[in-house]
Structure 1
Amino acid sequence: MEDKLIIDFAAGAVGVDLNADIVIIGSGIAGLVIAREMAASGKQVLVLESGDISKSLAADAAAKGLTHIIKPDGEVLQQDHYLHESRQFAFGGAANKWGGKCAIMDPVDFKARSYMPMSGWPVDYQTLVPHVEKACRDMQIPTLTKADDWARADFSINNRYNFESSIRTFTPLTGEDTGSDYDRFKRGIATRPNIRMLINATVKEIVTNRSGDKHIDYVCIESADGEQHQVSGTTFILAAGGLENVRLLLSSNRQFPQGLGNDHGLVGRYFCGHAIFRLPSSVPGRQAGLCLPLAKDSLLLKEYVNKDSSTPHKLFKLSENAQRRKKLPNGTITLERRLESDGQVFYPAFFMLEQQLTEQSYVSLLPPVNGHSALQLHWHFSRQDVINLQAMLALFDADLQKSELGYLDYVFDETALFKYMTLASHHMGTTRMSDQPDKGVVDQYCRLHGSDNLYIASTSVFCTSALANPTITLLALCHRICTHIKD
C-alpha cells in the first residue's frame, strides 16, 4: 500500500501490532472522526475495516441480504437490492457513495410525543448543540446560527400557518475516487502517526470475559482466506453501520446465546429509515407539486428548489406547534425543479414523513452460509403512516390556498404512493438509546448497557428517525462519545 499505516490483512498479520488503546470496528465517517479525535488525545488507535481500500465484488456480496417492505394492507414488496445498494464495505464506508446532503435535527425530534410511540431521547437538543457545531465544522458546512439566519428569510406562507422552512446543505467531502475531497479527508485521518488502519479484516465476533458483565476482552478478525487473529484493546467502538452492527452483536453469542446486548430482544428491533414519496397530480403524466400563477411566483420560492448536489436549498417542514396541535409526526415537502407553462408555474415535489416506530420493523440474521449470516430486513408501513401523510398534504394545500400563493396539485393514490416510493440509505433505531436497559441497547453516552468498554457509534442508536439527513447528528454523538471516554 502507498500509505504505510494502512495495512492489508490479506497479506497476513506478521509483525502487525493487534493491540491498541482504542479499537474501532468500521472505517466509515463515524469511525474516522472518532479515530481522529482519540488520536489527538494521545491514544493509540486501531481501525478494523472488513472491506478493501476501494469497493470490491467480494465485499458487495457480503452486504447482500433480503428486504421485505410490508404495506399497510399486508402486501409484501421484495426489494433485496436495498441492503447492498445502500451500504459499502470499503475504506471510508457508505460515505464513499454519499451525496453529501446535511441537515440538523429539530428540537422536537428529541422530545417525547404522546401520539408517537417510543418517542423521546435520553439526551436533548441543547445538550447536543456544542457537538453539532463540531460536526458542522467537520463537514465544512454552515453552523447552526448561520443556517438558522438563512432559513428565516422566507415568504408569506411561513410563520403564519403550519409550515416553516428548514435548510439542507451539502458538504464538499464527497467522492470515492482517488483525489476526491472525501478521499483526502479519510486518508488524512488514516495516515496519522498513532492511527493504524487494517483493511480486509472482517470482525467475526466480539468476545466478552466470562464474568457476565459484558466487558470486552477482544474481537476476532478473519481474512478472506480464513486466517484468524485476536485484536485486544482498552476501549472498543462499534461503528460498522446501522445494519452491520446488528449482525455483529447477534453473532457474538459465545457468552450470551441471544446475542451481545440483546438481553431484552431489542437488537435489530424498531428499525426506522426515510422513505421518499411521490404522487400523481390531476394532470395525467405529471407528478404532484406546487402550482401557482406566474404572477405569484417569487424569487424566494426558488430557494426551495433542490437543484443539484452542491447548492443549499430550503424545504417546507411542519412546525413543532402544528405537529402537536394536529398530532402529526415531523414532515417535509421538497420542491424538485421549476416548470413554466401557459402562465402558470409548477414545482414537482416529493414528500417525507417520520414513521411511527413499531417492533414489526426489524433486522434479523439468516441461517449461516459458509460461516456468514446475511441480514434480513422487515420494514413495516402502518395504516397510521398513510393517514398522517395524507393529513400533512391536506394541511399544506390548505395553507397555500389561505396564503393565496397557489395550491398543491396532487391525487392521493395509495397504490402510486408505494409504487413510486424510494428508500434513502439511512438505517436507524436497531440499537436504540435509552437510560433504561429494558427500553434500549445503549445508554445516553452510546455505551452498551452492562458494558464498561463497548460503545456504538452509529445511526443505529437513534431513538427516532426524525427527517434530517442523519450524518450531522451521528457525528455529534461521536464527539459526545469521545468527550465521555476522555473524561
Structure 2
Amino acid sequence: MAIIDARTLPDASHLEADLVIIGGGLAGITLAKELAGGPLKVVVLESGGREMEPETQALYAGACVQKADGNKDRPLHEFPVQSRVRALGGSGHVWGGKCGPLDPADFAERAWIPYSGWPISREAMQPYYDRACDMLEIDRFPPERPNAAEASLQPLALDARDGFFPAPRLFARISGRTDRPAFDRFRTQFAEAPNIDVYLYANVVRIRRERNTITGLDIACLDGKRHKAKATRYVLATGGIENVRLLLASDNLGNRHDLVGRFFQGHVTYSNDSDAQREGSAFAASRAEPLDLYAPALRYGPHCVIGAGLAAQKRMKTGNFTATLFRANFANADAKVAAETQTISKASAQLDKGQAQPNLLGFFAMTEHFPHPESRITLDQSQKDALGMPRVNLTWVHGKKDYDDLERSIDGLAAAMGAAGEGRLCWSLRRDELLASSNASRHHMGTTRMHADPRKGVVDADGRLHEANNLYVAGSSVFPTSGIVNPTLTILALTIRLADHLKSEKKAA
C-alpha cells in the first residue's frame, strides 16, 4: 500500500501484520511480490532508504580474514561493507545480473564431500527455477543441454566422455547495474498492493521470543526513534552475514547446537596474467571456429561455462568446478604482451600439424567452496555500530580439500581437452599463491544451513528455524553447499517456494 520512512512515525510506534519480512533485498522483495494482492497483511522492514547512503552502509562494517591451506592469511576487512548494499533492493543495486541454476550434483549427497546433500532435490526445484526466471524476465533453463546448428555454438567434445558439460549462464536486465528503470520498478511496484507496507530506515535490532514462539521485533532508527513490530509469522531475509548477526544478537536464537554462523561459503575466482617469467591462465583451442558458445563477443551475453558434472566429480573425487573462457584483445597488445602471447601459443605446439592457429582465450577457474565448520561468522562484543549492535567477525576458511580439488579438476579438464583433441590449458599458479591471486565475489552462503536434523542444520527444508515455530529464514544463508553459479536465481527460487508454503500454511490454519 505504501513505502514509508520509519523516521516519520511517532516514536514507539507499534506495527502489526500477519507476516513481517525483515529485509528488503532481493529475497524479501521476491517474497512480498509473491504475496502481493493476497489475504495476508505484509510488512517489509528495510534498514536503508531507496539508495545507498554512507551512514546506513557503515552499519555493515566488521572484520574479515581469509585463511587457506599453505597460504598466508589475507585480511579483507572492507569485505563486509563492500560486498553488500543496505538499501531497498539490497545487493541487486550492484549485482551484474548473472543467472544460472545449481547443478543436480550440488543437491546430491556426495560421500567424498563432508556435509554435502540438500533436503530438496534438483528435480523438485525446477518449477521454482522456472518461476524465478519469469520474474527476472529471462528465458527458462531447460533440463537438456544446449544444441545449435552453428559451428561456433557447438560444445566442446567433453561431456559424454569425461563428465564435463556446457553449463548455461544468462544475464537479467533487472539489476541496478544493467537497467536501472526496470530494477526500480521491480523493487517498488509491489508496494502498491493494498496488503503491503514497506518501512524504510527500520533496523531490526532484536528478535524477541517466548519458548519456541517469536513474539515481536525491536526496531531502531538512526535518528534515535524506537518502534515495535508484531506478527503471526516472520521471515528473516537480511543476507548470509546479517541473518547470522541478528540471530546471535537475539540471545543466540537458533544456536542450540552451535551452528548459526558456521559453514560460511563464498565464491572466488582463480586466474593469473602472464608476465616476463611465466604464462598466464589461458586456453588454446584447436578448432578454427570461434567458441561463441563459451566466449561470446558481448561480455554480458548468454554463454556457457565448462562444468564438472556428477560423473566427473565422482571419478576425480572432487566437488563442483567450472572454467569460464573469455576473449582477450591481443590485437591491441604492446610488443611485450604480444611476445608473451606467442609464448602461451607454444603450449599448443603438440597439436596435429596442418591445423589452423588455435583460438587463444583467457580463462578463470572456480571450485566449490566446501562447508567447513571453522569458516564462520561470530560477533565482536567489543565493537558496536551506531545502533549498539555488535559488529561481525568473518573467518573465511579454505581447507586443504578446496585446493586439492581445484588442482585435480584443472588437471582432469586439461587431460580431457587433450584427449579429445580440443586444445590445451595453461595453468601456472602455485598452491601457495592461490589465496593471494583469488578474487572474492559478493556471495555469502551456508551460515544458517538447511537440514532435516536440527543437530546438523539451523532451518528445515521449508526454511523454518528449528527452534522457532513461526520464524523462517530466506536467502543463500540456508544453502547447505555453495555450488558455483551466482546464487541469486536459487535465492529467488527458494523464496518463491517459501511463499507457496506460507500460503498453504495459511489455508490450513
Q: TM-score band, normalised by the shorter chain? A: over 0.9
Q: Which residue does the alignment assign to 1:72?
A: 69
Whole-angstrom CA distance in 2 between matches of 1:13 and 1:158: 62
CA separation of 1:15/1:261 partners in 2, compared to 1, >3 Å: closer, same or farther? closer
Runs of 5+ consecutive residues of structure 1 not aligned to the other structure: 254-258
1:303 maps onto 2:296 in alignment: no
Residue 24 of structure 1: CA displacement? 0.4
Partner amino acid for 1:457?
A: A
CA separation of 1:319/1:146 partners in 2, compared to 1, >3 Å: closer, same or farther? closer
Whole-angstrom CA distance in 2 between matches of 1:136 and 1:143: 6
1:101 maps onto 2:91 in alignment: no
Tell me, yes or no, if the aligned pair for 1:338 and 1:345 is still in contact at 8 Å.
Answer: no
Q: Which residue does the alignment assign to 2:169?
A: 168
Whole-angstrom CA distance in 1 between matches of 2:6 and 2:275: 58
Q: Which residue does the alignment assign to 1:314?
A: 304
Tell me, yes or no, if the aligned pair for 1:174 and 1:180 is still in contact at 8 Å.
Answer: no
- Secondary structure (helix, strand or coil) at the match of 1:116 reads coil
1:378 maps onto 2:399 in alignment: no
Tell me, yes or no, if the aligned pair for 2:11 and 2:226 is still in contact at 8 Å.
Answer: no
Residue 374 of structure 1: CA displacement? 1.0
Partner amino acid for 1:231?
A: A
Tell me, yes or no, if the aligned pair for 1:282 and 1:409 is still in contact at 8 Å.
Answer: no
Partner amino acid for 1:56?
A: E
Residue 307 of structure 1: CA displacement? 5.1
Whole-angstrom CA distance in 1 between matches of 2:231 and 2:296: 45
Residue 160 of structure 1: CA displacement? 2.6
Q: Which residue does the alignment assign to 2:336?
A: none
> TM-score, structure 1 length as denominator?
0.92
- Between 1:152-161 and 1:327-336, the stretch displaced more is 152-161
- Secondary structure (helix, strand or coil) at the match of 1:144 reads coil
1:243 maps onto 2:241 in alignment: yes
Whole-angstrom CA distance in 1 between matches of 2:178 and 2:466: 39
- Between 1:27-36 and 1:186-195, the stretch displaced more is 186-195
Residue 297 of structure 1: CA displacement? 2.6
Over residues 73-115 of structure 1, what are the superposed CA-to-partner deviations in whole Å (9 max), with x where a residue is unaligned? 3631101111111101011111111100001011111111111
- Secondary structure (helix, strand or coil) at the match of 1:233 reads strand
1:363 maps onto 2:356 in alignment: no
Identity score, percent: 33
Residue 5 of structure 1: CA displacement? 1.1
Partner amino acid for 1:350?
A: F
Whole-angstrom CA distance in 2 between matches of 1:60 and 1:286: 40
1:478 maps onto 2:495 in alignment: yes
Over residues 9-29 of structure 1, what are the superposed CA-to-partner deviations in whole Å (9 max), with x where a residue is unaligned? 122347976111110000011
Whole-angstrom CA distance in 1 between matches of 2:154 and 2:362: 22
Tell me which of 3, 9, 15 is aligned to 1:18.
15
Q: Which residue does the alignment assign to 1:398?
A: 415
CA separation of 1:338/1:161 partners in 2, compared to 1, >3 Å: closer, same or farther? farther
Whole-angstrom CA distance in 2 between matches of 1:404 and 1:9: 63
Partner amino acid for 1:427?
A: H
Q: Which residue does the alignment assign to 1:45?
A: 42
Tell me, yes or no, if the aligned pair for 1:337 and 1:347 is still in contact at 8 Å.
Answer: yes
Whole-angstrom CA distance in 2 between matches of 1:133 and 1:268: 30
Q: Which residue does the alignment assign to 1:256?
A: none
Tell me, yes or no, if the aligned pair for 1:282 and 1:410 is still in contact at 8 Å.
Answer: no
Partner amino acid for 2:407?
A: Q
Partner amino acid for 1:303?
A: L
Partner amino acid for 1:304?
A: Y
- Between 1:268-277 and 1:127-136, the stretch displaced more is 127-136
1:460 maps onto 2:482 in alignment: no
Tell me, yes or no, if the aligned pair for 1:162 and 1:396 is still in contact at 8 Å.
Answer: no
Tell me, yes or no, if the aligned pair for 1:246 and 1:431 is still in contact at 8 Å.
Answer: yes
Residue 292 of structure 1: CA displacement? 3.4
Tell me which of 345, 350, 353 is aligned to 2:359.
345
Runs of 5+ consecutive residues of structure 2 not aligned to the other structure: 331-340, 343-356, 505-509
Q: Which residue does the alignment assign to 1:325?
A: 315
Over residues 147-204 of structure 1, what are the superposed CA-to-partner deviations in whole Å (9 max), with x where a residue is unaligned? 7445995232332323111001011101179952111111111232221110001001
CA separation of 1:14/1:387 partners in 2, compared to 1, >3 Å: closer, same or farther? closer
Q: Which residue does the alignment assign to 1:126?
A: 123
Over residues 219-273 of structure 1, what are the superposed CA-to-partner deviations in whole Å (9 max), with x where a residue is unaligned? 00011122111101111010000100001000111xxxxx000000000000011
CA separation of 1:150/1:169 partners in 2, compared to 1, >3 Å: closer, same or farther? farther
- Secondary structure (helix, strand or coil) at the match of 2:240 reads coil
Over residues 49-92 of structure 1, what are the superposed CA-to-partner deviations in whole Å (9 max), with x where a residue is unaligned? 11122100112211111110012136311011111111010111
Tell me which of 399, 417, 427 is aligned to 2:444.
427
- Between 1:189-198 and 1:78-87, the stretch displaced more is 189-198
Partner amino acid for 1:91?
A: L
- Secondary structure (helix, strand or coil) at the match of 1:207 reads strand
Whole-angstrom CA distance in 1 between matches of 2:490 and 2:33: 18
Partner amino acid for 1:482?
A: A
Number of equivalences: 473
Whole-angstrom CA distance in 2 between matches of 1:171 and 1:423: 21
1:264 maps onto 2:221 in alignment: no
Q: Which residue does the alignment assign to 1:184?
A: 185
Residue 281 of structure 1: CA displacement? 5.7
Tell me, yes or no, if the aligned pair for 1:205 and 1:221 is still in contact at 8 Å.
Answer: yes
After TM superposition, list the pairs within 5 Å mapping 1:281-296 onto structure 2: 284=277, 286-293=279-286, 296=287
CA separation of 1:54/1:78 partners in 2, compared to 1, >3 Å: closer, same or farther? same
Partner amino acid for 2:244?
A: V
CA separation of 1:140/1:147 partners in 2, compared to 1, >3 Å: closer, same or farther? farther
Q: Which residue does the alignment assign to 1:278?
A: 271
> TM-score, structure 2 length as denominator?
0.88
Tell me, yes or no, if the aligned pair for 2:262 and 2:373 is still in contact at 8 Å.
Answer: yes
Whole-angstrom CA distance in 2 between matches of 1:175 and 1:69: 28
Tell me which of 438, 445, 454 is aligned to 1:437.
454
Whole-angstrom CA distance in 1 between matches of 2:297 and 2:367: 21
Whole-angstrom CA distance in 2 between matches of 1:478 and 1:230: 25
Q: Which residue does the alignment assign to 2:202?
A: 201
